[in-house]
Structure 1
């Protein structure tokens, strides 16, 4: 019986999640990670916690240097992009180009595979980068801890989207990882919610969940499922939605 046939969270899953969702220098046994499949996805929220802590530390340095709030916001965005290899931003841009640039599911998937960026992707990236920077700047002017909860929750909601929607194509990162079980998705969400509550980012739970549902519903209607790009877009939209809810409700 392989690890794909049983579900039990393991600490090594955190390293696998970080290897997938960031460019942090973590050591992973590739054959073991492949055998684990989607069982490691529960750790996406833990990876978000770690990435959020790094970004919060960068924001603290900016605050110590008495930078303007908008500059601190851009510092958070830039730090996250650097540490993650901007993979979620890439997914957002590809998803926007594909979902709104094609007329059929096949065309949309083909556009999403194209490494070139179109007008939808450009406008979306500029809008989300500016919005996130402005919101993070405003947030850190009030409290820095919710940054961690937002980043954990926005990555946690990717897992139920993976479990809910089938893979829209047979190849790609999402298809390679596989579909997590309901137990895996539940644990990912539970950890994300706990981190959000502890850090004072409780409204992020509702904002991230609503965004994940919206992106998933659009992807299901337009391409019949999810891809790695869709998951990246899910994280980005969830992060922005969580930010808005945290600032509006706290």
Structure 2
């Protein structure tokens, strides 16, 4: 169990590692170093590494699938990998999606919506949204895996990284509307500088280098449009964002990434990805 302290580290490298550990401890249940320097200011700075957390979780999930697939059929291996994902994050993002669905779907005023979103109990809107999301994710992952492990492994890493970049970018230019002291969730980064946003997005788009230009262009157009519409919708419904909204944004953008990749399965543009995967596997082997 890490022990947060408020005195910031003076070494630049240690400072950046500390920010990364803060981001990792916020989004996962992975064990952290015994001492993590914590303050609200440091947590705000840690948002630059939110997408880097996806590199860690994506790598773990990709490895988990490879191991499970050695012993089980594709559908069982994927189901077990999804279970690992929930354990790895404590269903943090899924909980946010369900809470947002309950709050915005079950009330007509901003105050009531925020009150429902802070309630730890799950309602009809949240349950239905969560079940549909998990079923759709499972179906899409099976479809990708049926084309070969390379398609699935690259997709998992891309979705884990890029979806967190999109969700983290929502912090920019949107007010935080939930009271930290009354919220059931952890304290949340509430501000974002241009340099932090730039690093967050740069890390987020890096896995796209393994994909053909047509896929890259389509994904970016879809995600930029989704971010614009989702941001406008949140401003209209609650006047800003909460931690639950960021979790929902991550889950929804992850599904959009998988949906887009599945739509390209039968096209020749994925030949390049398959070749890249075989080359990488050959080097590793």
So what's the TM-score if we normalise by structure 2? 0.78
Change (3 A) 1:174 1:206: farther
Aligned-pair CA distance for 1:15: 1.2
Pair 1:247-2:259 in alignment: no
User: Highest CA radius of gyration, 1 or 2?
Assistant: 2
Counterpart-to-counterpart distance in 2, 1:217 and 1:28:
41
Q: Which residue of 1 aligns with 2:132?
A: 127
Moved more, 13-22 or 198-207: 198-207
SS in 2 for 1:177: coil
Pair 1:215-2:246 in alignment: no
Counterpart-to-counterpart distance in 1, 2:109 and 2:36:
36
Q: Which residue of 1 aligns with 2:28?
A: 22
Change (3 A) 1:145 1:86: same
Moved more, 160-169 or 31-40: 31-40
Counterpart-to-counterpart distance in 1, 2:248 and 2:159:
15
* Count of paired positions: 245
Change (3 A) 1:70 1:217: farther
Aligned-pair CA distance for 1:33: 4.7
Query: Tell me, which stretches of 5 or more residues in structure 1 are unaligned?
Result: none
Moved more, 96-105 or 32-41: 32-41
Query: Tell me, which stretches of 5 or more residues in structure 2 are unaligned?
Result: 1-6, 265-269, 271-285
Q: Which residue of 2 aligns with 1:158?
A: 167
Pair 1:49-2:49 in alignment: no
Pair 1:186-2:198 in alignment: yes
Aligned-pair CA distance for 1:31: 4.0
Aligned-pair CA distance for 1:209: 3.7
SS in 2 for 1:11: helix
Cα deviation per residue 1:96-118 (whole Å; 9 max; x = unaligned)? 00011111000100010111111
Pair 1:148-2:157 in alignment: yes
Change (3 A) 1:161 1:174: farther
CA contact (8 A) 2:18 2:37 kept: no
Question: RMSD between aligned alpha carbons?
Answer: 2.4
CA contact (8 A) 1:208 1:239 kept: no
Aligned-pair CA distance for 1:91: 0.2
CA contact (8 A) 1:91 1:231 kept: yes
Counterpart-to-counterpart distance in 2, 1:35 and 1:88:
23
CA contact (8 A) 1:135 1:243 kept: yes
Structure 1 runs of 4+ aligned residues shifted over 6 Å read none
Counterpart-to-counterpart distance in 2, 1:15 and 1:175:
15
